[in-house]
A and B are shown apart, each in its own frame.
Chain A
Amino acid sequence: MTAPLLEVTGVGKRFGSLTVLHDVSFALAPGEALGIVGPNGAGKSTLLNVVAGTLPPDGGRVVLDGQDVTGTGAAARCRGGIGRSYQVPRPFSGMTVFENTLVAASFGAGLRSRAAADAAFAALVTAGLDHHADTPAGSLRLLDRKRLELARALATDPRVVLLDEIAGGLTEAEVPALVETIQQLVREGVAVVWIEHVVHALVAVVTRLMCLTYGEVLAVGEPRAVLADPRVVEVYLGSTIAGDEPELGETA
């Protein structure tokens, strides 16, 4: 196995008396994809925030390419190669879609003028938003806002990309294209951490699956084995809303 690109060790996070993450660890090599599932409130998004540097952990370490980045802020981590999308999109509403990705390409990837513009537009093409380039981001509908989250993350030229529920809401026809986009990233050697409730999309991409519950790792390993784990079935799959079940059927 190649040396890990991202190493998360014993990470914990508490909000007051509530423990949101407890002793979560994983490592990711370039070109590896880790899926994260778990019931709502399991701490999935918090874990992503800790890895991205938006939230400081109360304990544990985050190491990127051999460098301990636990104490560095989100901007520095982004420049270091961690790109992320937000579950609840956070567009720059007063800017156009293109300007949104231009920010990512200029500051995340550190590109200038021409190169920044080309990278920003390429990310829009990849996310299927190029025809909206001059649209104010604030007037996008939810689905396109999610696409913009992906496009901005890609425009930072990440080595590690953290995706938080970007497939939710896509039509059945759109999911394969998204899966293809992420598979392409993985083939290019990007390490991917993907939180997703659309399990069949996740299983098509990831090499490992982690199930979180109450902030702790319940199971981790080969995706199908994790999904077949009775404990996972009980806490996660057993509790999924009716709409998710047909999607699970395809994976079985």
Chain B
Amino acid sequence: MTAVAQRPAAVRVRRGGRAAWAGAGLAVVVVAVLGYLPLLTTRGTQVQLVGLFSLVVLGTMWNLLAGYGGMVSIGQQAYIGIGGYGLVYLASTVGVDPFLAVPVAAVVCAVVAWPISYLAFRLAGGYFAIGTWVIAEVVRLLVTQVDALGAGSGASLTGFAGLEPTYRIAYVYWMSLGIVVLVVGGVYLLMRSRLGLALTAIRDEPTAAGSLGVAVTRAKRLVYVAAAAGCGLAGAMVVANTLRVQPGSAFSVDYSAMMIFIVVIGGIGTIEGPIIGALVFYALQDSLADLGNWYLVVVGVVAIAVTLLAPRGLWGLTRGRVELFPTGYRTGSR
């Protein structure tokens, strides 16, 4: 130990430099190309791509919860369902413009998630995971009791009446693309912020984070509420795309299995991982659609293979050498 080389040790901190610019540039190009697509592609392609966008949002949200906040939730379908139902109720029953109803539905999710977090945070680890699932089931059962929401059979989104399908589908596509940019960009900026530093510490060692002054529970609560809003956006996005919401599918635990698959395959704890995982899952889903139940078998085998061969996910294979969305702090002394 070198003693007392105290105080003014000015240090140069780099936050990604060229990689950050390259990543931002690439993102701009990809979003620009995707934004132009409705002028070139069929409606069917756009509907499919919205499905992919919802997977990116869901994966990114689950990664924020588990990969950065250390909260393994298998109950995010509670907020996916509330987002979807919120959109239908606001647009079809209340008469709000659907494109305005989508963000409002996300806010509703955040407002619901805040008190629920006090309940869920009494549990830790595996109990937290199961607890979130139970909460999602309770929400589903409550929704099926409400006749105004179509009870057990679901409801249709009718708010788009008067909008030509070609335009409706293109608008929903652009809205969904905007949500992807908002959610992925938002998580990136969050992880580069002070709160991101706190979250990474909490993920690695919550007790030590607390001992170093990090308000652990408050940071986790913020993440939980943000992830609820993001999942609500995804749920609303799916319903705006399919025009139909049903309790069995909107609150399905399959969503959680999907989110976990996407994040684990892509690489947990990275911004890039969930995007790659979503692409892989979408490709599998698309190419294996005709196989029926065999589809699940193939997905399972892929999951096992990746966790064995690339335990840190596909993006983890870069071993941190490539970072499109760098969030760390480097001093240049190694």
Contact = CB atoms under 8 A, between A and B. Distances in A.
A125 B207 contact: no
Nearest to A174: B1
B9 A75 contact: no
Contacts of B210: 54, 73-75, 78
A92 B269 contact: no
A33 interface: no
Contact of B328 (A93, A99, A152, A177): A99
Contact of B213 (A79, A120, A127): A79
A92 B328 CA distance: 13
A108 B6 contact: no
B200 A106 contact: no
Nearest to A52: B211
Interface string B244-258: 000000000000000
Contacts of A121: 9-11, 331
Interface residues of A, number: 53
Contact of B329 (A99, A127, A177): A99
Grouping DSSP codes into helix (H, G, I), strand (E, B) and loop, the B interface class, with mixed when no group exceeds half, is loop
Nearest to B14: A134
A92 B208 CA distance: 8
B204 interface: yes
A106 B197 contact: yes
Contacts, number: 147
Interface in A80-124: 84, 86, 90-96, 98-100, 102-104, 106-110, 112, 117-118, 120-122
A91 B4 contact: no
Contacts of A120: 11
B331 A134 contact: yes
Contacts of A59: none
Interface string B173-210: 00000000000000000000010011011011101111
A94 B4 contact: no
A108 B212 contact: yes
B5 A126 contact: yes
Nearest to A121: B11
Given A107-B209, A126-B1, A152-B208, 7 more contacts: A54-B210, A78-B210, A90-B207, A106-B198, A107-B198, A125-B9, A128-B2
5 contacts: A91-B205, A120-B11, A121-B9, A131-B333, A152-B212
